[in-house]
Amino acid sequence: MQFGNFSNSWYRISLDTDAQIFYATSKEHPEQVASGITIDEAVHNLSTANFSNRGQQLKHETA
């Protein structure tokens, strides 16, 4: 078994297990973070977000 980073993606994914929310973080700009209920939603939110201020996060809105 090999361990390592085999991803060529431009983002990283993490899961908040308490809130059951996925977070997508830009590898190039780690201060840019977006969230979503699914991995696809989090990545989509990250790719379409307008991060005009450094350190800004786009969080998932819960109803």
pLDDT at 49: 86
- Residue range of the domain that includes 35: 11-58
In a domain, 54, yes or no: yes
In a domain, 4, yes or no: no
| pLDDT tens string 24-56 | 999 999 999 999 999 999 999 999 988 765 455
Query: What is the three-class DSSP state of 1?
Result: coil
In a domain, 2, yes or no: no
In a domain, 1, yes or no: no
- Number of domains the chain contains: 1
> pTM of the full predicted structure?
0.72
In a domain, 6, yes or no: no
Q: Is 10 in contact with 27 (CB distance < 8 Å)? A: yes
In a domain, 63, yes or no: no
Q: Is 20 in contact with 41 (CB distance < 8 Å)? A: no
Q: Phi, psi (5° rounding) for residue 41?
A: -65, -40
Taking the C-alpha atoms of residue 27 and residue 46, their distance in angstroms, rounded to an integer, is 11
Q: Is 37 in contact with 60 (CB distance < 8 Å)? A: yes
